[in-house]
Amino acid sequence: MKANTQLTKAITVAALLVCAAAALAAGDPDEGQQKARTCAACHGLDGRGRIPLADKTAGYLEEQLRAFRNRTRSDETMNAIAKQLDDQDIADLAAYYASQ
């Protein structure tokens, strides 16, 4: 019984830490909208341009932007743009486009 209680406590603490980290890393859609001006030519300000981003999850968008920034996903234009983005920029942009 004691081991089960300790396991439950450990799982609870881990879950709280994950939630806290997610809250700190959350993007601001309003900030993302301002930053999206550079993206509008291809993705549209509302994420419904010729290369749509609307209806994608924030997590997916963040993952893709990081892949472009780290050059594990290759596109000449996106690699150059993403190289200039920090983690907060990525979170903000992803939050904005995911909200469209």
CATH topology of domain 28-98: Cytochrome Bc1 Complex; Chain D, domain 2 (1.10.760)
Over residues 46-68, mean pLDDT? 97
* Residue of 22 and 37 predicted with greater confidence: 37
Q: Is 28 helix (H, G, I), strand (E, B) or coil?
A: coil
Where do the domains of the chain lie? 28-98
**The two structure tokens encoding residue 11:** 């799982």
For residue 25, the model assigns a pLDDT of 59
pLDDT at position 53, please? 97
pLDDT at residue 22, rounded to an integer = 45
| Measured distance CA(86)–CA(22) in Å, rounded | 16
pLDDT of residue 13: 45
Mean pLDDT of all residues in 59-65: 98
Mean pLDDT taken over the chain: 85
The whole-angstrom separation of Cα 100 and Cα 95 is 9
Residue-wise burial string across 43-65, b where 16 or more C-beta atoms lie within 10 A, e elsewhere? bbeebeeeeebeeeebeebbebb
Whether residue 79 is predicted with pLDDT greater than 90 in this model: the reply is: yes
